[in-house]
Structure 1
């Protein structure tokens, strides 16, 4: 990753000397950019066996449980007992009976399903009952090939080889599972029983799993029981997420509200009493406990806690999230809303987010000499402290300082961002031996300011994106290696999107080189320019 030089906004009226200086700065930016891309000389990979960048994310990881989990030991014990229950083991026979059985956990968002499944995984890895333990996050908009890659990498603890079709991916996965008794966790499965295509995709995920040994298990988490049954869980194996006992939940809430808080003994007693009443309003939601507790922890003031207790804004989970969001500083709220351009469960890198926020002009400081990125780093730290960004613990990746936005918080970010932020998440499907991208049917808001596009397409650029006059951010995540990025398409971006501050774009072509059009000089507001070479991968969880 490389960042272009920062440009300073110019007044509309300039002297000849100022104009000359501005033109010299623009010329320098063009020369720097051209030199930058000349250094990118990528080797010709036309003969390489490459996959589409949209789903090649490097080593997708199994997440460990949080450092502290309160009140889930009994639930974990019950699930582990089911996983080891030999009476439920299916025995393969000439009729190709399944070698695995399915157990499911269902419950509302934020109730702790993922944490519980991670806790089970951690215990099973120590126990040794299963030869392989795999944890894969599925989410609402998934592609089968991405799930196969994640399974393969979780099984081998190494990056999945680059295959370009589902049949090869499936065969590769079957080899890794052959003769192994495995535990596979499919976390956060979404399902609509009226969506036939979604059902077919879920069945396709299961297709290579019969290569395993008898006694294998699949543990599924979902918001609905229908998803568990669609994947083959028997009714008695669909476990509702239990509510924490009132005392246990209060202990969890107090952990977040009082961690490292130093107050006088008398004040502590009063705050503890108020915390007891606030905890009852949160209806047992661990996510709400974490967020609300975090906000209270930063403001250990009796009057503030009382006003929080007496309002009705904490009576449901989304209300609690909204209340927590409202108590962030204004600029921190802008930075959080900006995260809504990224897809669900995207692993976000700390240093990149900080640079993007600075480039967008989100930094506000009374200290004129303070570096903009330092100001934005403070915003980042506040979002982490308030649990709006949660650190992702990884086992098989060298990536550091990556964070994730919980699904419910991303829903909130979508709501507060409105039409300012938009993401186009293209889907892939199997055609013959290859994979192709399906088109985007969504209407992009004409006044959108920040746009994420999962996969490049010249028609999408020319017909939709180039008409977005207010666009400040354009992030194009990847390009199908069979599609050449045309220079005239990039030139159109530079000529028509004159308000761009951030541009991240793939620059692949047959020769492995790319020339920056001189029209880049028209982007007088540009603060951040980045290319996406083949070697650059975004991580997903």
Structure 2
């Protein structure tokens, strides 16, 4: 059930505001045509057409949720047009910025101060004599023709207009919420039994290693239980060595072995083969009592499993492996002692729902909500994740009528496959997210499962992608983004890492939801996958993409990204367990990739061994976010100083970086400069020094 188009109303609001801004700019020029191929009449026409589309979105989304294929195709085309129109309007904005800069530099030599927000103590002054770009009339006409065609098709879909204009409601904020504390209910019996097994003195005399499997459906709380056990002080004091590994879909023995070894020894083992790593792991575990958690295992290959655990036989008696899985076949091949997690009781579901909605585990202080709350808890089908997310949805709703509206929502009546009830709850919660949060949440689909990210890193992505545009002015934009982030955490759409509290991730099912919403606009790929879809025409519509690498990025692995001509975000991510190592990409591979992606707004390349940044980076006029953290770069090319839209330049941990470009003050939009932990940076351009 695709629901990606539900975020279109928030997207159209951004376009509406950009059209208004462009129209104002036109008016200020007193009738002169500021951009090639466009005039005030065309701007007004486009604005009216967007309003015409906007007022039928409610009905269109309802119809496509019910399986109306033609409506779904129409909404897909509206989405693609909205992206292309925004790219075109951004081209106009870039042209305007460059024209103003040229005019200013020709009439005055004065310097304008600008601020860094939180990463640096330096201020700067700017001038930006970058060349103007003239827009093609053909591009404007193409957008106009597509808008006309979409309006014509709309008339044949019998869509009903919404009586309330969404533009009037898009940015109404809900009351601020505090982050909820974790609450663990209904697993006391299983927790006590496994805790006794982990820490008890009685041992099986016939075996050194014991394997415990926590098994159950998605969202039932397997990982949460494993985390409580792993972090329990009695458990940590009982084992000499511990390691936690998120396995997920790809069961890579080399990767898992390397991660466990690093957790035990703290040393990097880059480039070593599996045999060498397993010998080292065996030596590290020799006569040591250890605990390893393998979270979210799907592998059904017995041979791969036995190969993985072979070094563990060297451990001391009492060593344990905990496996969490949805797949009962995994339990069979591991020979594990199984602890199945069944659905929560209704009583516990009610308590968990109440805790996340009201901050208390009962309805004693809210008797008017008790009956409705219990009926909603029934819909959770015993899933703790569903109870948490629904509770987060109700967190800002104190009126019984609002709770009734959730209980009676038509989504409960839509047909679902068996075992998909939790996904229904998550979809319902997404539909009821405030519109200003929807694009922020869906953007997280660009990250692979189990990927952990810092709050401010994600907030910067939202800022530079324009998701907070239209909400500025009332408060600092970074503070606003952090508030959005905290709201998603309070609603359980994001969760704090139990291993590194400075980082956050999404539950696998919520990651699946975000990807289903993003649809063909999002693409994830890794070096362990095969690019079987290189010739897929849908790649040409991808806007957000990531590539996860452990060792190197090759031209072959990047070939699929060359097809993504309208790509906005590209993140080359290092394997999340190998931060001490660096992966490799040649300058040629990087150059060839960047020359294909002219609409790129976000480019992130961290923990890579590159020493040089290609000059072609300066050709990416739409670029707003550039991250080379923890790379070996020694300098940045002067070509970056023409990037008039660049808002964030992240150079954290670039130990070999000796200086910044002298022309960096020409980056008129730069707000965030991160130069933490750059030990070789001896001097700053004069204009940056206070």
TM-score by length of 2: 0.60
What is residue 386 of structure 1 aligned with on the other side?
A: 491
What is residue 466 of structure 1 aligned with on the other side?
A: 562
Whether 2:619 is the aligned partner of 1:514: answer no
Q: Which moved more, 1:414-423 or 1:114-123?
A: 114-123
TM-score by length of 1: 0.75
More helix by share: 2
| Contact kept in structure 2, 1:454 and 1:476, CA below 8 Å | yes
Q: Any unmatched runs of 5+ in structure 2? A: 1-88, 106-126, 132-180, 414-420, 576-580, 633-651, 654-690
In 2 relative to 1, CA 199–294 (structure 1 residues): closer, same or farther, beyond 3 Å? same
Q: CA deviation at 1:80?
A: 3.1
| Contact kept in structure 2, 1:26 and 1:524, CA below 8 Å | no
Q: CA deviation at 1:464?
A: 2.8
Whether 2:280 is the aligned partner of 1:172: answer yes
What is residue 149 of structure 1 aligned with on the other side?
A: 258
| Contact kept in structure 1, 2:203 and 2:317, CA below 8 Å | no
What is residue 509 of structure 2 aligned with on the other side?
A: 408
Q: CA deviation at 1:466?
A: 2.5
Q: What is the SS of the residue equivalent to 2:369?
A: helix
| Contact kept in structure 1, 2:354 and 2:363, CA below 8 Å | no
Aligned residues: 459
| Contact kept in structure 2, 1:507 and 1:514, CA below 8 Å | no
What is residue 307 of structure 1 aligned with on the other side?
A: 405
Give the counterpart of 1:20 among 102, 106, 112: 102
Using the alignment, how far apart are the partners of 2:204 and 2:361 within structure 1? 50
Q: CA deviation at 1:90?
A: 5.1
Q: Which moved more, 1:252-261 or 1:79-88?
A: 79-88
Using the alignment, how far apart are the partners of 2:353 and 2:603 within structure 1? 42
| Contact kept in structure 2, 1:508 and 1:514, CA below 8 Å | no
Q: What is the SS of the residue equivalent to 2:450?
A: coil
In 2 relative to 1, CA 423–25 (structure 1 residues): closer, same or farther, beyond 3 Å? farther
Using the alignment, how far apart are the partners of 1:278 and 1:450 within structure 2? 35
Whether 2:287 is the aligned partner of 1:189: answer no
Q: Could you list the per-position Cα deviations for residues 170-222 of structure 1 after superposition, in whole angstroms to 9, with x for gaps in the alignment?
A: 2222222111233332221113x4xxxx5443332211100112333322211
Q: Could you list the per-position Cα deviations for residues 414-458 of structure 1 after superposition, in whole angstroms to 9, with x for gaps in the alignment?
A: 10000111111221xxxxxxxxxx753344622100110113534
Give the counterpart of 1:505 among 602, 605, 608: 605
In 2 relative to 1, CA 242–508 (structure 1 residues): closer, same or farther, beyond 3 Å? closer
Q: Could you list the per-position Cα deviations for residues 41-73 of structure 1 after superposition, in whole angstroms to 9, with x for gaps in the alignment?
A: xxxxxxxxxxxxxxxxxxxxxxxxx84312222
Q: Could you list the per-position Cα deviations for residues 484-540 of structure 1 after superposition, in whole angstroms to 9, with x for gaps in the alignment?
A: 5124x433344331111111236966xx631431x3333221111111434779xxx
| Contact kept in structure 1, 2:562 and 2:597, CA below 8 Å | yes
What is residue 520 of structure 2 aligned with on the other side?
A: 419
In 2 relative to 1, CA 449–22 (structure 1 residues): closer, same or farther, beyond 3 Å? farther
Q: Any unmatched runs of 5+ in structure 1? A: 1-6, 29-65, 92-97, 428-437
What is residue 309 of structure 2 aligned with on the other side?
A: 206
Using the alignment, how far apart are the partners of 1:331 and 1:351 within structure 2? 17
Q: Report 1 or 2 for greater relative contact order, CA contacts < 8 Å, sequence distance ≥ 6.
A: 1
Whether 2:545 is the aligned partner of 1:451: answer yes
Using the alignment, how far apart are the partners of 1:529 and 1:13 within structure 2? 21
Q: Which moved more, 1:276-285 or 1:142-151?
A: 142-151
In 2 relative to 1, CA 78–484 (structure 1 residues): closer, same or farther, beyond 3 Å? closer
Larger Rg over CA atoms: 2
